[in-house]
Each structure stands twice: as C-alpha cells, then as structure tokens.
Amino acid sequence: MQFRHEARQALARAKALLAQGDDHALRYAALELRLTLEAGVYDRLHDYRRDVPPSVYEVWPPPKVLRLLLEVDPDADQPSTVRITRRGGGGDTPASVTFSETPIDRFMLKGNYDALGSYLHMPTLKQITKDGGPDFAKLRKRCEALVALLDPMVTPLKQTFIGGRFSHCGCTRCGADMRKRVPPGVTGELAAVCQGCEAPYRLFVGDDDPDRWSAVKYGAPCHHEGCAGEHGIFPDELKQGHRWTCDQCGGDNAIDLVILAVSDPAKGDDGAGDR
C-alpha cells in the first residue's frame, strides 16, 4: 500500500468536508484527519522497514508505532534537509539541489489523534449533561489547524533520506543480513534483533575496535553418554519438543518439560504427598 498516497487522499477528503460548513460533516472530517495521521505514521514505518522486527508491523495504534520508531532512531520524527551540490560545471544547470522532508512528529500525534477520536463516538449521558454535547466550534478549529500543519507534510512528493552509521552481521540462525543503527558517539553494548527470525543479539561498539556481534543464547549440554558437546539455544527455542543435533557427536537432543514434586521444609512436607 502507498501510505503517502493514502494520506494525501484522506487529507483532500477532510478539506472537502470542512468546506461544506456543516457541523455534522465535521465528524467525518475528523475521521479523515485521523486516517491522514495513521497513513503518515505507517509511511514513516515503511521507511525504517530494515531497522524494525516484523512484529512491529502488527502494531496498530500510531502513537505506539511512533514510540517504537523513536527507540530505533530518536530523530525519526524530525525534519531533514539534504543539499546536493555539483562541483564545477557551468551553463544553466543549477549548482545545488535541496531536498526536504517533514514527517509527523510525536507532539502533533499526541495532541490530536485521541482528541479527534473523542468526537467519533456518541457522547455519554454524563458528557451531555455536563457539556451539552460535542463542541463543534472547537472541533472545527482543531481540524482547520491540523489541516494547515499536515498539508506541507503529506502533499509534496516524498523525499526521504535516512542517514546514520550502521553495523552489519549475518544471522547465525536464518542467514539474514542484520543491521543495527549506531547512534553518534555511542559505545558499549546495544541490543539488536534479526529482522528475519527475530533472534536476539548483542552488539558491542568500541571507540577504535571493530563492532562485535554476539547471539543471545543459553548453553544446552548434549545428553548422549560420553559427549561433552554444548549447543546454543535462543530464548524462543526454550520450549517443549525443540530438537537439535549435537555438533560434536551427531546425536539428537530434545527439550522435554516435566513437573516434579518438591519438598517444602517449612511445611514439614517430605515431597511424597497423597497418591
């Protein structure tokens, strides 16, 4: 789906509804503006599709989606400008070209998304008694102000530039190429997740040393007699029936979860219990 196109279409419908001057059409204008916000956030999510795990695509509320994006890149909702300048040359060719992008930011989303949604439901008896029903003048003011903010964000052609330093590594489980954005000036340990199979990793970033990736695994010893081999198990593999082949002896192993009776000295229980 072309989310930027959907955002433009929703914004155009909102403008047309506001132009009617009918209070009853304001609810539909509010709905279209919410759709504009949603499409704008999902469009930004698509820009970061190589930086977020597949599970993020299952997240629906736009504020939550944006929070997840900001964990990946704290500047994901900030305006950006890129200028490309051609050295030398002459004639009528411009010396430089400037591209700008202004995404929907956290403050715009927080200040408007839920506020618009409150008009899309029938007010409760308490709200009618206290406020006398929806304040359409207030809603119109909010909608018109939001249209003015969204217009320069979704109407221009998409010009997205995502910069940064990235560290790469191949996943030891599925083979996918993993990449992790490394914030400027940051050293130490960073958490990373494979986009292909969601296996967890640790990325160690040093000042001068090369980046080092380490899979988050638990050691599982081989249970075949006389074998001292150990296999690394990812956290999501610690479940009933998971099988693996020992690299050292070639024997098969499996996880078998059981429940055992235990004794509690404080209760004077010897663990036998009733049979």
How high is the pLDDT of residue 275?
43
- Alpha carbon of 147 to those of 2, 10, 16, 25, 85: distances in Å? 20, 11, 11, 15, 34
pTM of the model: 0.69
> Going by C-beta distance under 8 Å and a sequence separation of 6 or more, which residues neighbour residue 172?
199, 215
pLDDT digits (tens, 9 = 90+) for 141-197: 999 999 999 999 998 887 777 777 889 999 999 998 888 888 778 889 999 888 888
Widest distance between CA atoms in the chain: 97
Question: 264 pLDDT exceeds 50?
Answer: yes
Rounded CA separation 211/206 (Å): 7
pLDDT digits (tens, 9 = 90+) for 47-106: 888 787 777 777 778 998 999 888 888 888 988 888 888 776 555 666 788 888 889 999
Looking at residue 182, the DSSP 8-state letter turns out to be E
What is the average per-residue pLDDT within 110-129? 87
Question: 41 pLDDT exceeds 80?
Answer: yes
Rounded CA separation 27/16 (Å): 13
